[in-house]
Amino acid sequence: MKWRRSSGSPSSESSPTSESSPASERIPDYGTPPPKPPPISWAPLCCVVDKQIRLASFRQVGTEWQLSWVDDSSVPDGDSRRDSAPMSGSFVTAADYPGCPGCSNAGFVRCGSCTGLGCWQPGTKRYHCPHCKVTAQITGSITSIKSINLG
């Protein structure tokens, strides 16, 4: 005797869960950009010992301008046509600053009277400006320096 079980076959319907997503936007990979060299500005710096005016190179690191080196060749004073935008921020000497080429002073100051830069022996309290011949106390800190445009 045969009878049929009327058992339906188990439903094997599976709802698709992973539908193919529409083409997602691909962000092109340009890689990391090459590191930019730190901005450099130049300002004339006068040696208080040999009175030569040389080009001082300032490297910008964040909001800090670091005096990194002074070119040994002297430049004429009062060349104002090459004035460019002033550097502003805080001013320090870089850790690798070798010192003034004329006298190896390790620091520098900005004259409050004529705004000219001169080399300076750290710790010295008085400064005789080689530009305008004013002697003054060293006070405060430099917040801006007039740079020159070499371009």
**Gyration radius of the chain over CA positions:** 34
Q: Which of 74, 56, 53, 43 is nearest to 131 (CA)?
A: 53
Q: What is d(CA 47, CA 20) in angstroms, rounded to the nearest whole number?
A: 73
Residue 117 main-chain phi, psi, to 5 deg = -95, 145
Would you count residue 56 as binding Zn ion (CB under 5 A)? no
Q: How far is the CB of 135 from Zn ion (least distance, A)?
A: 10
Stretch 77-116: interaction string toward Zn ion, x if CB under 5 A: -----------------------x-xx-x-----x-xx-x
Q: Are the CB atoms for 106 and 121 separated by under 8 Å?
A: yes
Please, which residue, 87 or 101, has the CB nearer to Zn ion?
101
Counting residues that bind Zn ion (by CB under 5 A) gives 14
The 8-class DSSP code of residue 109 comes to E
Residues 129-148 that bind Zn ion (CB under 5 A): 129, 131-132
Site stretch for Zn ion (CB under 5 A), options 10-18, 28-36, 79-87, 119-127: 119-127
Please, which residue, 60 or 115, has the CB nearer to Zn ion?
115
Q: What is d(CA 24, CA 106) in angstroms, rounded to the nearest whole number?
A: 59
Contact residues toward Zn ion (CB under 5 A) are 47, 49, 100, 102-103, 105, 111, 113-114, 116, 119, 129, 131-132
